Amino acid sequence: MNIVPASHGLDATLGASSGLRSGGVHISDVYNSLYQELEPARYAQAGGPPVIKMAMGLAWEAYVEACLRRAGIDAYRPEEGTTPEGLAFSPDLILIDERGIRRVGEIKLTYMSESETLGEPKFAKWLTQVQAYCHHMGTSSARFYVLFVNGNYRGQRDPVFRAYDMTFTAQELKDNWQLLLNHARHKKML
């Protein structure tokens, strides 16, 4: 038997979003820039984000969306929106519950431990992201679907899938959006 590594030819497309994105500045550009400044050791990666992990996350998103459809959960991927300031944004999902309440849905795959709550500082970037989407989607509610690949890093090392519902105050959403706008203006993104 002769086994030889082969070129797969996918380097340019691995990790690319399957959704269409317009040109210009996206909210994700703003919160990514903000967190690169706030936590450079964690977020300022040379060479950009790890494309294989991004590809895994995108595959997970597609799988969870398919599971939601099979379960009869009213969820859809919204078209890309634009803020009044001209920033594009695209939440993973909009969910509508049995009472007709809309919530922003975000699907995450992470190697972080699930031993802490989403209110812990290590999840701050996720909260900044979802609050920006909530602000522009006109809802104060969000749901995260999270796959913790390594469980809690203690006794539970197998993947764990969790869902979390959140409700934000109008002031929290307003303050979060102002923070992002201030950063975007400071960085001349607007």
Q: 29-186, what's its fold?
A: Lambda Exonuclease; Chain A (3.90.320)
The reported pLDDT for the residue numbered 17 is 60
**Percent of all residues in the chain with a pLDDT value above 70, rounded to a whole number:** 92
Quote the CA–CA distance of 19 and 31 in Å, as a whole number.
19
Q: Where are the domains of the chain?
A: 29-186
Tokens of 21: 């994105």
**Where would I find the beta strands (DSSP E) of 1-131?**
75-76, 81-82, 88-89, 93-96, 102-110
- CA 41 to chain CA centroid, Å, is 20
Tell which wins on pLDDT, 186 or 52.
186
Tell me which residue of 91, 43, 44, 92 sits closest to 65, measured CA to CA.
92
pLDDT of residue 21 exceeding 70, the answer is no
Tell me which amino acid residue 175 is.
D
Which pLDDT tens digit goes with each residue over 27-39? 999 999 999 999 9
